Amino acid sequence: MIYNIEYETMPREALDSIKLRRLKDTLERVYATVPYYKNKFKEVGITPKDIKTLDDLKLIPFTTKQDLRDNYPYGMFAVPMDNVVRIHASSGTTGKPTVVGYTARDIGTWAEIMARSLVAGGAGQRDIIHNAYGYGLFTGGLGVHYGAEKLGASVIPVSGGNTKRQITIMKDFGPTILTSTPSYALHLAEVAQEMGFSFKDFKFKYGIFGAEPWSESMRREIEKKLNLTAVDIYGLSEVIGPGVAIECHEAKAGLHIFEDHFIPEIINPQTGEVLPYGEKGELVFTSLTKEAFPIIRYRTRDITSLIIEPCICGRNLMRMSRVSGRTDDMLIIRGVNVFPSQIESVLMEIEGIEPHYQLVVDREENLDILTVMVEIGQKLFSDEVKQLQEIERRIAKDIKEYLAVSVKVKLVEPKTISRSEGKAVRVIDKRKI
């Protein structure tokens, strides 16, 4: 099923025509209303009238998270505050928070693309959506919520936390769609088992998971433990929130980007050069319809590639491959680039290993040491020390063969690694302390 047949199946030529018209309108507007963008245009000696084709977008400088922080809190807004009806912000755990605003029309746009996303992920008007994304300044909870209401589905605004209560609600209310981070979904399965329940006893059909990178192996683990079909959703507050792109449940082969609202690019993160379709690099987004907080060539730091070929589901929208990591959570260990999702892929191939792990990086005598802490199941934990050492050796060997980097492996007992109700903390880099 497709929510908006006109825009999601539009022929490429017609879609590009709409994108160019909306891009020109957006550039004229930010040039006139946001001093930051006007100055950026002047720095490179162009005006919005110099952008005549979609390819000309590359002439415009990038926008970064630091630019948003430098204009904290409202310096990037393109409308008077009288027209802003909603404000969201990042947690600010790695610096000054980034603040984004929405007009009433922006909220309507967001609800529309989230309704499209929910349908692509398997939801329909008759479904009950258990929304375990956090409500508040984080965009996840309210983004899904408004999309579900736009679709006409029933939404349970349970948010994150109170996990045992969530299991009871799942049993009593009979939700059919689960939305959460993938790591929290696995935690829900774990707690349900402790309470004596199986997800096979619940009514879930589909799960829509995002807000952190996850692997195909983790998808298989979630589908097995939660007895549902798991799809990947992508979004970030700076662009609009969840709903920028999503997999369709029919193919699960790349996330459809709603191009009538966003233009994606892939760049070389070192040089800024725009890369061709199919090549992996850093994802950059330009918004086309946002009023309060338009964003131009925003560097997301997420690593992916673009797929231009049509999908079996009938949508003609460009797709992005699953995000494999971020340029700013990428670890460089003795010259080798390492992403947590790559380690996760190796771990999930080994029987008895739980999907809970943490990477600890330290420096000993000027040499970077990566330690992979990983939980094992209760059955394995009771095995002899000799057998546990053999598992550690196998994990280290498999990671060495896959990533060409030597690591230390430490098996830990079940429940040792902290659970998160939101995004999982995968990396502890002690080199920065």
340 preceded by a cis bond (ω within 30 of 0): no
Quick: pLDDT tens for 99-135: 999 999 999 999 999 999 999 999 999 999 999 999 9
Helix crossing, 12-33 with 35-43: angle to 10°?
A: 100
The answer for residues whose C-beta is within 8 angstroms of residue 171's C-beta and 6 or more apart is 197, 201, 202
Residue whose C-alpha is closest to residue 244's, from 285, 303, 281:
285
Burial letters for 396-428: b for 16+ Cβ neighbours within 10 Å, e otherwise? bebbeeebebebebebbeeeebeeebbbbebbe
Cα 311 from Cα 319, distance rounded (Å): 9
Alpha helices in 10-95 (DSSP H): 12-33, 35-43, 65-70
**Mean local confidence (pLDDT), 235-258:** 97
Write down the pLDDT at residue 333: 78
Write down the pLDDT at residue 93: 56
Percent over 90 (pLDDT), the chain = 73
**Mean local confidence (pLDDT), 325-332:** 76
Residue owning tokens 């798991």: 230
Burial (Cβ within 10 Å: 0-12, 13-18, ≥19) of residue 277: exposed
Say whether pLDDT at 282 is over 60: yes
Quick: pLDDT tens for 181-225: 888 899 899 999 999 999 999 999 999 999 877 888 889 999 999
Say whether pLDDT at 248 is over 70: yes
Host H or E run for residue 344: helix 340-347
| pLDDT: which is higher, 414 or 311 | 311
Write down the pLDDT at residue 415: 84
372 close to 397: Cβ distance less than 8 angstroms: no
The answer for residues whose C-beta is within 8 angstroms of residue 379's C-beta and 6 or more apart is 352
Cα 395 from Cα 392, distance rounded (Å): 5
Cα 361 from Cα 346, distance rounded (Å): 18
Residue 235, beta-bridge partner list: 242
Say whether pLDDT at 317 is over 80: yes
Say whether pLDDT at 27 is over 80: yes
Write down the pLDDT at residue 433: 42
Instruction: For the full predicted model, state whether its pTM sits above 0.95.
Output: no
- The dihedral of CA 338, 344, 345, 346: what is its sign? positive
Write down the pLDDT at residue 334: 66
- The dihedral of CA 138, 140, 145, 146: what is its sign? positive
Say whether pLDDT at 432 is over 60: no
Q: How far apart are the first and last CA of the chain?
A: 50
* Amino acid at residue number 312: I
Say whether pLDDT at 31 is over 70: yes
| pLDDT: which is higher, 426 or 227 | 227
Say whether pLDDT at 241 is over 60: yes
Residue whose C-alpha is closest to residue 313's, from 354, 269, 252, 272:
252
Q: 176: left (phi > 0), else alpha (psi -120 to 50), else beta?
A: alpha
Say whether pLDDT at 61 is over 80: yes
Residue whose C-alpha is closest to residue 131's, from 167, 114, 154, 155:
155
Give the angle 396-399-401 at the CA atoms, nearest 5°.
Answer: 110
Say whether pLDDT at 20 is over 80: yes
Give the angle 10-16-21 at the CA atoms, nearest 5°.
Answer: 115
Write down the pLDDT at residue 94: 59
- The dihedral of CA 255, 260, 266, 269: what is its sign? negative
Q: At 227, is the secondary structure helix, strand, or coil?
A: coil
Quick: pLDDT tens for 348-386: 888 878 888 999 988 776 677 899 999 988 777 766 788
The full length of the chain comes to: 433
Cα 71 from Cα 299, distance rounded (Å): 16
Write down the pLDDT at residue 128: 98
* Amino acid at residue number 315: R
Write down the pLDDT at residue 37: 98
Write down the pLDDT at residue 387: 84
pLDDT band per the 50, 70, 90 thresholds, residue 92: low
Quick: pLDDT tens for 392-410: 999 999 998 888 788 999 9
Burial (Cβ within 10 Å: 0-12, 13-18, ≥19) of residue 367: exposed
* Amino acid at residue number 90: S
